[in-house]
Amino acid sequence: MTQKFRLAEGGRINRDHPVQFQFDGATLHGYEGDTLASALLANGVHLVGRSFKYHRPRGILSAGAEESNALVQLREGPRTEPNMRSTMVALFDGLKAESQNRWPSLSFDVWSVNNLFSRFLPAGFYYKTFMWPASFWMTYEKVIRNAAGLGKGPLGRDPDRYEHRNQWCDVLVAGGGPAGLMAALAAGRAGARVILVDEQSEMGGSLLSGTGEVDGKPAADWVAEIMDELRSMEEVTILPRTSVSGYYDYNFLTLLERVTDHLDDEPDGKTPRQRFWQVRAKQVVLATGAIERPLTFLNNDRPGVMLAGAVRTYVNRYAVLPGLKAVIFTNNDSAYDTALDLRRAGASATVVDVRKAPRGALVEAARAAGIDIMDGKAIVKVNGGKRVTGVLIRELSEDGKTVTGGSQSIGCDLVAMSGGWNPTVHLFSQSRGKLRFDESLAAFVPDKSFADERSAGACNGSMKLLDCLTEGLKAGLAAARDAGFNVRKAPTAPKVDEAEEGGIMPIWVVPSGKRLGQGGKHFIDFQNDVTAADVSLSHREGYVSVEHLKRYTTMGMGTDQGKTSNVNALAIMADLQGVSVPEAGITTFRPPWALTGFGAIAGRNVGEFMDPARLTAMHDWHVEHGAKFEDVGQWKRPWYYPKPGESMADAVNRETLAARSAVAMVDASTLGKIDIQGPDAAEFLNRIYTNAWLKLPLGSCRYGLMLHEDGMVFDDGVTTRLAENRFLMTTTTGGAANVLTWLEEWLQTEWPEMKVYCTSVTEQWATVSVSGPYARHVVGSLTDYDKLGPKDLPFMTMAEMDIAGIPARVYRISFTGELAFEVNVPRRQGLALWRAIWEAGQKYGITPYGTEAMHVLRAEKGFIIVGQETDGTVTPMDMGMDWIVSKKKGDFIGRRSFAREDTARDDRKQLVGLYTEDDPHHVLVEGQQLVAEVKPTPPMKMVGHVTSAYFSSNVGRSIALAVVEGGRERMGETLYAPRLEGGRPVKVTITDPVFFDKEGVRARG
């Protein structure tokens, strides 16, 4: 259990709970409370990954969400995850992690050859080459693809569960550092419903990384007190390990809570792995802190070069010493804290400060502690490959542009750098807030808010602890007040003792004594290997807009999305252009703040819950009787019912024959049903449908076509007048929701004066349609037979009666062209009805049939199916249905379009029937195109296509429906249907689309 770099005491780790883990196969030890990164450092492991492009060895840069280097492949098997930031992975017993993007091993990576050739691989090099020979791009590309990518994708199905939670609150506080804690406390005391979110495992933020005091006690104690009070508040929800991933319009925020990620592999099956929150917040307080900027110097990417603030976090929070001999390289005072803490922890520390004679209290403290301060100097080079071995230091000119004099070499194993701090404005920016550039901080800070939101603390540019606490307090109070709460017992800001800080000297590129791009690299975006020279090249070539810069160099396009690189690159570009940083612009911050799991966003909308299947009341019966199912919209419909040994064709032939020769039944429950009521209901239908509805008698049914404004058919169905002001409309199965939307759109936006109310009742009814010569016998045996007679219940009427003792609506309508009764009962009695009809039909040989037989039967009659014969480009006239388009009634939707010259043409594609000429058993392919003239090779002029094609046992041959240009005038003509598989096109003859019972007497019988 050697953790050579673990300090003997201190830190917020649980030394009573040692933990064993593996990295690249080596067994290492750490403690509960560690992150993977802190545990690796405790074991002296600095080489953790390889960069994206040059495969340079990389270590741990940060201690938080901004990590761009130390990404690992976490866990194994179906739970493996690529690109996990080791700085955000909580250590647990048995954790297994592997380094990424290297082969065969992390320390010997063949791909690092890219680094040797890096001179030929500047930003955008691929746009300039790989163009010869033209056909070779994809060969080059294959190599590029294999070299790119980082980790490996998981294989197989995710074994874990994710959950969604929707919540509202008065005040959402993003960030649990000093500002966020004060904001939550203030709002909480005011009685507001507060959600406090922080992505770390515990609240406290920067207070956990330091050694200071708040209110005269150690900061951690103060945090614990505040947390105790917050926990005691009923309306306050505290969410650690939770990131605000997105800030959308109208204060809608998404949060990702990592519920069990910090535990070992086996969640208990009930607890979700992650919870995705969707929160509506009346007010938001952003207290997201700040991210330290790297300095841009030669070889600043070597393992062992870390952000100074992160070093401090490792020392104080995790009791880990990232190095024994440290050089602190800074342009501001904050890094002096790091020097002092390192020194206290037993490391040696030398400060290299680019500022000449810096004068702050911290500087003085460092000096007093005997720390060597080299002012007005810069690191011009870092030595070492897989770990820092030393630095070269030279004198810096006053303007920071050049170095002079001889170089001094210092051996070290750690470089802690600080280029100043960028307020974490990501969420503010996502909320459409406007930024401004603060010269004193040399950073972007929030300017004008757009949403109901306030920034407080470091994310607002206030870097001093007291300011953070005060601003947090104010923001929390104001947020509570704006959310409607009286603030009676406002807390006061605690006292803190704080050193006065000196100013920052912005330096965007640290000169190395050579021209940029010569003799080494100054990295800006570590993950994507974007260097200062790349920015310079981008400028040289005219990619000066910040968006061009980003896209040309790929700066900020990695998994960290530029958290440490963005401002540095922009500032360098501004410098090159000779403009100020804000003039150069800033790229858009887009959600998510940090990588957000797709599984979490999907939540439980996966598997059977993805789009739950709709099942009819008779579904179980269909399953018991061996039905094969077809997906129609969201519904599962019986497709056909094969008997043992039957093929699909056998089954369909048997079902279709039964419907015409005896009796057959189909579950028609899935048709859309809309109850339409109100004094204007008839007039409304008159406008929606193409035919006339005002005079439809009570209890009568009528078929109707609906058109869009362009005159094209979009749905059809039978509608029945149930009462003077009440109709029941049926729609296609798949179109039901669209039709209801359509009706509502017209009622709500165009005709608000109409008194019409539409209600979907699809789910309320179960429907059995009984067809065939014995249909009346079967249904009649379950009710008063006489009520079903041709005079009592004529074709296209409806009557209410009991069927098998169940109150039912019986419609005499027919989609098969046979004598048919459609029996509708309340859904809960659907199965009983189905069984009763099934029993009663036994002596007539009743046969259940599925959608396939239904389609064949209607095609034999030339009845169209909307969505099959029609495709949104077909008018009623094209379908040969002029009879349904009223010439007398007033306006209806789509009517005006019939006057358009193209819509009015009489040689448009029209519905026809087709017979195959050579083989009457050959069934055409639905969708097969038709040509009048066959050419040896395409292109060929198409004149139409097959919309439906079946073998019809009732007709005794194959039949097809098609749309053909000017088809009605081409009866008897021969067309050809070329086949995808080649060979001779199928010869077809154009015929009438009605193949069976042309006079239509059977349905009326």
Partner 1 sequence: MAKYSVFSLVRNALSYHENWQRAWRSPDPKPEYDILVIGGGGHGLATAHYLAKEHGINNVAVIEKGWLGGGNTARNTTIVRSNYLWDESAAIYEHSLKLWEGLSQDLNFNVMFSQRGVMNLAHNLHDWRELNRRVHAIRLNGVDSEILSAAQVKAEAPILNVSPDSRYPIIGASMQRRGGTARHDAVAWGYARAADQRGVDIIQNCEVTGFVINNGRVEGVETTRGPIKAKRVGVAVAGHSSVLADMAGFRMPVESNPLQALVSDPIKPVLDCVVMSSAVHVYISQSDRGEFVIGAGSDLHVSYSQRGSFEIIEGIMGALCELVPMVSRMKMMRQWGGVVDVTPDRSPIVGKTPVEGLFINCGWGTGGFKGTPGSGHAFAATLAAGEPNDMAGPFSLDRFRTGFLIDEAGAAAVAH
Among 49, 57, 64, 82, contact with partner 1 (rule: CB under 8 A) = 82
C-alpha to C-alpha distance for 811 and 823, rounded to whole angstroms: 6
Q: Decide: is 150 part of the binding site for partner 1 (CB under 8 A).
A: yes
Shortest distance in whole angstroms from residue 670 CB to partner 1 = 9
Give the x/- contact pattern for partner 1 in 624-663, rule: CB under 8 A.
------xxxx------------------------------
Shortest distance in whole angstroms from residue 961 CB to partner 1 = 12
Q: By C-beta, is 5 or 950 nearer to partner 1?
A: 950
Footprint on residues 249-268 left by partner 1 (CB under 8 A): 249, 252, 254
Q: Are 576 and 535 in contact (CB under 8 A)?
A: yes
Q: Decide: is 450 part of the binding site for partner 1 (CB under 8 A).
A: no
Q: Are 627 and 640 in contact (CB under 8 A)?
A: yes
Shortest distance in whole angstroms from residue 720 CB to partner 1 = 19
Residue 191, sorted as left (phi over 0), alpha (psi -120 to 50) or beta, turns out to be: left
**Contacts for 602-608 with beta carbons within 8 Å, 24 or more apart?**
602/162, 603/162, 603/163, 603/164, 603/276, 604/161, 604/162, 604/163, 604/164
Shortest distance in whole angstroms from residue 559 CB to partner 1 = 5
Q: Decide: is 902 part of the binding site for partner 1 (CB under 8 A).
A: yes
C-alpha to C-alpha distance for 550 and 569, rounded to whole angstroms: 9
C-alpha to C-alpha distance for 525 and 53, rounded to whole angstroms: 11
Footprint on residues 832-861 left by partner 1 (CB under 8 A): 851, 854-855
Shortest distance in whole angstroms from residue 321 CB to partner 1 = 32
Among 17, 495, 900, 1004, contact with partner 1 (rule: CB under 8 A) = 900
C-alpha to C-alpha distance for 36 and 461, rounded to whole angstroms: 30
Q: Decide: is 575 part of the binding site for partner 1 (CB under 8 A).
A: no
Contact range with partner 1 by CB under 8 A, out of 61-69, 313-321, 366-374, 532-540: 532-540
Among 224, 365, 602, 884, contact with partner 1 (rule: CB under 8 A) = 602
Query: How far, in Å, are 214, 647, 759, 990 from residue 494 at the CA level?
Result: 7, 82, 60, 91
Shortest distance in whole angstroms from residue 576 CB to partner 1 = 13
Among 44, 246, 520, 841, contact with partner 1 (rule: CB under 8 A) = 246
C-alpha to C-alpha distance for 996 and 235, rounded to whole angstroms: 72
Phi first, then psi: give them for residue 225, nearest 5 degrees. Answer: -65, -45
Shortest distance in whole angstroms from residue 930 CB to partner 1 = 9
Q: Are 427 and 446 in contact (CB under 8 A)?
A: no
Q: Decide: is 931 part of the binding site for partner 1 (CB under 8 A).
A: yes
Q: By C-beta, is 8 or 138 nearer to partner 1?
A: 138
C-alpha to C-alpha distance for 261 and 84, rounded to whole angstroms: 12
Footprint on residues 797-826 left by partner 1 (CB under 8 A): none
Contact range with partner 1 by CB under 8 A, out of 340-348, 386-394, 536-544, 819-827: 536-544
Contact range with partner 1 by CB under 8 A, out of 209-217, 446-454, 594-602, 788-796: 594-602
Q: By C-beta, is 808 or 881 nearer to partner 1?
A: 881
Q: Decide: is 8 part of the binding site for partner 1 (CB under 8 A).
A: no
C-alpha to C-alpha distance for 849 and 630, rounded to whole angstroms: 13
Among 91, 866, 912, 990, contact with partner 1 (rule: CB under 8 A) = 866
Q: Decide: is 888 part of the binding site for partner 1 (CB under 8 A).
A: no
Tokens of 808: 């039912």
Among 113, 579, 613, 698, contact with partner 1 (rule: CB under 8 A) = 613
Shortest distance in whole angstroms from residue 938 CB to partner 1 = 4
Give the x/- contact pattern for partner 1 in 945-964, rule: CB under 8 A.
x-------------------
Q: By C-beta, is 499 or 865 nearer to partner 1?
A: 865
Shortest distance in whole angstroms from residue 365 CB to partner 1 = 42
Shortest distance in whole angstroms from residue 564 CB to partner 1 = 16
Q: By C-beta, is 424 or 732 nearer to partner 1?
A: 732
C-alpha to C-alpha distance for 156 and 174, rounded to whole angstroms: 35
Among 25, 607, 645, 972, contact with partner 1 (rule: CB under 8 A) = 607
Among 228, 234, 608, 624, contact with partner 1 (rule: CB under 8 A) = 608
Tokens of 317: 């929070």
Q: Are 420 and 442 in contact (CB under 8 A)?
A: yes
Q: Nearest CA to 315 among 290, 289, 291, 338?
A: 338
Q: Decide: is 767 part of the binding site for partner 1 (CB under 8 A).
A: no
Q: Are 520 and 532 in contact (CB under 8 A)?
A: no
Q: By C-beta, is 370 or 939 nearer to partner 1?
A: 939
Binding-site size for partner 1 (CB under 8 A) equals 124
Q: Decide: is 927 part of the binding site for partner 1 (CB under 8 A).
A: yes
Shortest distance in whole angstroms from residue 933 CB to partner 1 = 12
Residue 8, sorted as left (phi over 0), alpha (psi -120 to 50) or beta, turns out to be: alpha
Contact range with partner 1 by CB under 8 A, out of 188-196, 214-222, 587-595, 841-849: 587-595
Helix (H) or strand (E) holding 305: strand 305-307
Q: What is the DSSP string of 812-837?
A: ---SSSSSEEEEEEEGGGHHHHHHHH
Tokens of 912: 């026809």
Tokens of 724: 């003077």
Give the x/- contact pattern for partner 1 in 94-133, rule: CB under 8 A.
-------------------------xx-x--xxxxxxxx-
Residue 805's CB is within 10 A of a number of other CB atoms, namely 12
Contact range with partner 1 by CB under 8 A, out of 444-452, 551-559, 746-754, 816-824: 551-559
Shortest distance in whole angstroms from residue 372 CB to partner 1 = 35
Shortest distance in whole angstroms from residue 575 CB to partner 1 = 17
Tokens of 254: 């998404």
Q: Decide: is 248 part of the binding site for partner 1 (CB under 8 A).
A: yes
Q: Nearest CA to 545 among 578, 575, 586?
A: 586
Among 938, 972, 983, 999, contact with partner 1 (rule: CB under 8 A) = 938
Question: In DSSP terms, which residues pair with 674 in a beta bridge?
Answer: 729, 760
Alpha helix stretches (DSSP H) within 842-955 = 851-860
Footprint on residues 155-184 left by partner 1 (CB under 8 A): 155-158
Give the x/- contact pattern for partner 1 in 694-733, rule: CB under 8 A.
----------------xxx-xx----------------xx
Q: Are 4 and 58 in contact (CB under 8 A)?
A: no
Q: Decide: is 545 part of the binding site for partner 1 (CB under 8 A).
A: yes
Q: Nearest CA to 818 among 840, 792, 849?
A: 849
Footprint on residues 962-1001 left by partner 1 (CB under 8 A): 978, 980
Shortest distance in whole angstroms from residue 289 CB to partner 1 = 22
Shortest distance in whole angstroms from residue 95 CB to partner 1 = 16
Contact range with partner 1 by CB under 8 A, out of 73-81, 322-330, 656-664, 756-764: 73-81
Contact range with partner 1 by CB under 8 A, out of 91-99, 261-269, 584-592, 878-886: 584-592
**Contacts for 751-759 with beta carbons within 8 Å, 24 or more apart?**
751/684, 751/687, 754/678, 754/680, 754/683, 754/684, 755/678, 755/679, 755/680, 756/676, 756/677, 756/678, 756/680, 756/681, 756/684, 757/676, 757/677, 757/678, 758/674, 758/675, 758/676, 759/674, 759/675, 759/677
